[in-house]
């Protein structure tokens, strides 16, 4: 269409709108996820989940007749890129809201930008403590480690009768550090002894020194607050040292990538999640079949949470009368979201208000129960 034609169409739409006739508009939603780099193991599945849901919603006529348009950016799993991408989406692209970023580590850097500009930021994979303390515009449907890990350690006692464990975690990532703090408190509370605590740094590939020390303390299990690739290599190297202990992990373990590297070395790993491939609910079966048909592979928890998150936002938006003022519409979405209740691929979901901290208003966490999965034959089962 020529520039003149576009101007004509735009003025005609404005005239109709001024006359009070509803005019369909695109709803621009920012997607800031790690599509390259190590966190792409999660980020690509997340992007697919959003795409599947947005395509479904658009095929049914969009939201009150308005089409969802995803503006997708790669934040590479890096803090600086997450900041850049958030700025672009919020100030340049003028999206209504932003989904992402993939890692809690990046969320701590980028979410303040969304809160300062009164724009909803919705994390579907951020599970560290403190994410929603960044402000009242931060939402997440990813269940926080503080809710999941104590359930997982209790299941480990029941499943394996563990009495003493070794702990290994990444000490330079917000998610793995937060997971460690939660594990430590849960172990103390559940009176499980810690034989040794070891750390590593992002990008490490050789964990033999730490694992040799752990081996000498003969724990009943290894607690690992790690992202998927490091977790998989740690498991592999544990087995090569002749150690047979089961692993207990957090949200970072929730990826098929774990098994691509560790294979059946990962057998008996315990991990908690609201989502399971085995959940027979119709909403989950349909999601899994549609995902496979569209992307040619099975979904994981990260895809399921993104898929549900898009529907949660759509539900909120269905109650909002868009005004055309970005500032007002961003606020209206923020005000409509907390009341949404949803029953999707990850089961029944509601938001829970985060307590204010240091006089600062909190955002909204996920209120959802975790189910503990066990790894058998290259996948997590119930």
List residues near ligand PYR by CB under 6 A.
Answer: 103-104, 125-128, 175, 251-252
For tokens 């408190």, what's the residue?
Answer: 185
- Judge if the upstream peptide bond of residue 286 is cis by omega within 30 degrees of 0: no
CB of 126 to ligand PYR, least distance (A): 4
Q: Are strands 97-99 and 193-200 parallel, antiparallel or unpaired?
A: unpaired
DSSP secondary structure letters along 289-307 = HHHHHHHSS---HHHHHHH
Q: How far apart are CA 321 and CA 56, in angstroms?
A: 21
CB of 69 to ligand PYR, least distance (A): 27
**Helix, strand, coil share of the chain (percent; to 5):** 45, 20, 30
For the CB of residue 252, give the shortest distance to ligand PYR in the complex, in Å.
5
CB of 106 to ligand PYR, least distance (A): 8
Residue with the two structure tokens 């930008």 = 113
The residue (of 132 and 245) whose beta carbon lies closer to ligand PYR is 132
Q: Which is nearer to ligand PYR, 178 or 284 (CB)?
A: 178
Burial 342-379 (b: 16+ CB within 10 A, else e): bebbbbebbbeebeeeeeeebbbbbebebbbbbbeeee
- Give the nearer residue to ligand PYR in terms of CB position, either 210 or 251: 251
Nearer to ligand PYR, 220 or 229 (CB): 229
Nearest approach, Cβ of 135 to ligand PYR (angstroms)? 17
| Spatial CA neighbour of 97 closest among 71, 59, 61 | 71
Measured from the CB atom, is 210 or 301 closer to ligand PYR? 301
* Of residues 226 and 320, the one with the C-beta less far from ligand PYR: 226
CB of 329 to ligand PYR, least distance (A): 28
């Amino acid at each position: 269409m020529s520039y003149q034609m576009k101007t004509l169409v735009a003025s005609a739409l404005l005239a109709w709108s001024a006359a009070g006739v509803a005019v369909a508009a695109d709803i621009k939603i920012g997607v800031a996820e790690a599509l390259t780099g190590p966190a792409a193991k999660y980020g690509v599945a997340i992007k697919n989940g959003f795409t599947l849901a947005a395509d479904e919603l658009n095929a049914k006529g969009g939201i009150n007749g308005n089409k969802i348009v995803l503006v997708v950016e790669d934040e590479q799993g890096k803090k600086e890129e997450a900041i850049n991408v958030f700025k672009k989406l919020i100030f340049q692209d003028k999206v209504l809201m932003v989904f992402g970023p993939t890692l809690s580590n990046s969320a701590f850097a980028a979410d303040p930008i969304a809160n300062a500009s009164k724009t909803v930021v919705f994390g579907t994979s951020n599970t560290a403590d403190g994410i929603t303390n960044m402000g009242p515009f931060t939402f997440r449907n990813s269940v926080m480690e503080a809710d999941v890990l104590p359930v997982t350690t209790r299941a480990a006692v029941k499943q394996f009768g563990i009495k003493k464990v070794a702990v290994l975690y990444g000490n330079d990532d917000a998610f793995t550090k937060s997971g460690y703090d939660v594990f430590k408190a849960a172990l103390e509370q559940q009176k499980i002894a810690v034989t040794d605590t070891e750390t590593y740094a992002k990008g490490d590939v050789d964990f033999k020194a730490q694992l040799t020390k752990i081996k000498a303390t003969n724990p009943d299990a290894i607690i690992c607050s790690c992202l998927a690739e490091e977790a998989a290599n740690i498991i592999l190297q544990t087995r090569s040292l002749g150690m047979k202990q089961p692993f207990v992990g957090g949200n970072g373990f929730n990826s098929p990538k774990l098994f691509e590297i560790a294979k059946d070395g990962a057998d008996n790993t315990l991990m908690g999640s609201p989502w399971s491939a085995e959940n027979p609910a119709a909403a989950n079966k349909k999601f899994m079949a549609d995902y496979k048909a569209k992307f040619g592979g099975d979904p994981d928890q990260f895809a399921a949470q993104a898929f549900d998150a898009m529907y949660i936002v759509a539900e909120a938006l269905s109650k909002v009368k868009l005004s055309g003022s970005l500032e007002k519409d961003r606020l209206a979405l923020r005000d409509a979201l907390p009341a949404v209740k949803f029953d999707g691929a990850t089961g029944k979901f509601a938001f829970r208000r985060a307590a204010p901290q240091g006089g600062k208003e909190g955002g909204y966490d996920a209120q959802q129960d975790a189910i503990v999965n066990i790894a058998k034959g290259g996948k997590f089962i119930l």
